Amino acid sequence: MSYIKEILSAKKEEIKKIGKNSRWMKSKMQGSIKSKGNFLRNIKKGKINIIAEIKKASPSRGIINGRLDVEKTALTYNNFKSFISGISVLTEPLYFMGDPADIKKVRSKTTLPILRKDFIFSEVQVYESTVMEADCILLIASLLGAKKLKRLYELAGSLGLDVLVEVHDIKELDRVLDAGAEFIGINNRDLKTMRIDEETIYSFLRYRSNKELSDKVFVCESGIRDTGYIKDLFSGGINAFLIGEYFMSGNDLEAILRDMELKLKIEKLI
């Protein structure tokens, strides 16, 4: 967990700097508020929806693609709207080599909705995300208490942002459901050990079968590399998948996407 402590410490300093410009940001934000639902509206029922990620590095892998061209990658993703429903952009600089400016770079090359993926735990970061022209933000349940999670979730909604709330266990799921979450990411990666267990999401599927959650959109995160896994989860009711490292670590992104598109078409999943 040391990397998270370092990131959160750095974020606190970022927030102080952002706070000094809060008056400018709020005035700028007024023209950025949009009707809520741009991201969620693009997740179509009855088919596979991939949220394709732009990520240069990670705590578990180190540098994944140090020469990543953000704009070219966004343009490539944009050409595969048959199964890509949104783009996730890492903006955390310390361990993920992200940059908030990457969102506008992506925006200039695609009409797909954009998720800002970062460690968000302050209201000022939510305002900042609106100014960046993100359509959706990530909130990580394990890093937020129940009251703060609900406060940030409701603030984001009032600003026209969708919210992907990430959970890692059933206890967190119950907490985010109490907060009103409707777009929920199930992360197969344990943030403490950084290990991926692709079976994690199946425990959520078993739990979900005993509750009425048909109005919620669940996203499988981490460890997704083949269409067989996607097909199996789709049959269990999961139709949205966030894929980062698999796309980012390949030598030919377009070829990888073309291959996935073909396999999904053969399986009649798109």
Digit-coded pLDDT (tens) for 37-81 = 789 999 999 999 999 999 999 988 899 998 999 999 999 999 999
247: its two tokens: 């796309």
Closest to 201 in 3D by CA, of 183, 221, 227: 221
258: its two tokens: 């073309």
Q: What CA–CA distance (Å, rounded) separates 261 from 257? A: 6
Each residue's pLDDT tens digit, 150-196: 999 999 998 899 999 999 999 999 999 999 999 999 999 988 788 89
Residues 240, 218 contacting (CB under 8 angstroms): yes
In the chain, the number of structural domains is: 1
Q: Which of 42, 117, 129, 261 is an active site residue? A: 117
Q: Which of 49, 58, 187, 239 is an active site residue? A: 187
Instruction: Indicate if 222 belongs to the active site.
Output: yes
32-41, 117-126, 187-196: segment of lowest average pLDDT: 32-41
Each residue's pLDDT tens digit, 70-100: 999 999 999 999 999 999 999 999 989 999 9
Instruction: Indicate if 221 belongs to the active site.
Output: yes
Q: Above pLDDT 90, what percent of the chain?
A: 70
Q: Which of 11, 36, 42, 55 is an active site residue? A: 55
- pLDDT of the residue at 31: 56
Instruction: Indicate if 5 belongs to the active site.
Output: no
- pLDDT of the residue at 141: 96
Q: Which of 14, 42, 49, 53 is an active site residue? A: 53
Task: Look up residue 192 and give its amino acid.
Answer: K
Q: Which of 92, 128, 221, 261 is an active site residue? A: 221
Instruction: Tell me: pLDDT of 17 over 80.
Output: no
34: its two tokens: 């949009």
Residues 54, 243 contacting (CB under 8 angstroms): no
**Domain extent at residue 83:** 2-266
Instruction: State phi, psi for 87 to the nearest 5 degrees.
Output: -120, 130
Instruction: Indicate if 166 belongs to the active site.
Output: yes
Closest to 168 in 3D by CA, of 194, 135, 137, 147: 194
Q: What CA–CA distance (Å, rounded) separates 48 from 31? A: 33
2: left (phi over 0), alpha (psi -120 to 50) or beta: alpha
Residues 136, 162 contacting (CB under 8 angstroms): yes
- pLDDT of the residue at 28: 59
- pLDDT of the residue at 214: 84
- Residue 229 pLDDT level (bands cut at 50, 70, 90): very high
CA distances, 142 to each of 10, 153, 167, 179, 224 (Å): 18, 14, 7, 14, 22
Residue with tokens 């078993």: 206
Q: Which residues of 182-207 are buried (b: 16+ CB within 10 A; e: fewer)?
A: bbbbbbbbebeeeebeeebbbebeee
Residues 88, 53 contacting (CB under 8 angstroms): yes
109 vs 213 pLDDT, higher one: 109
- pLDDT of the residue at 111: 95
- pLDDT of the residue at 20: 57
Instruction: Indicate if 55 belongs to the active site.
Output: yes
Instruction: Tell me: pLDDT of 34 over 80.
Output: no
Would you say the pTM of this structure is higher than 0.95? no
Instruction: Tell me: pLDDT of 23 over 70.
Output: no
CATH code for the domain of 118: 3.20.20.70
Q: Which of 222, 239, 245, 261 is an active site residue? A: 222
- pLDDT of the residue at 4: 85
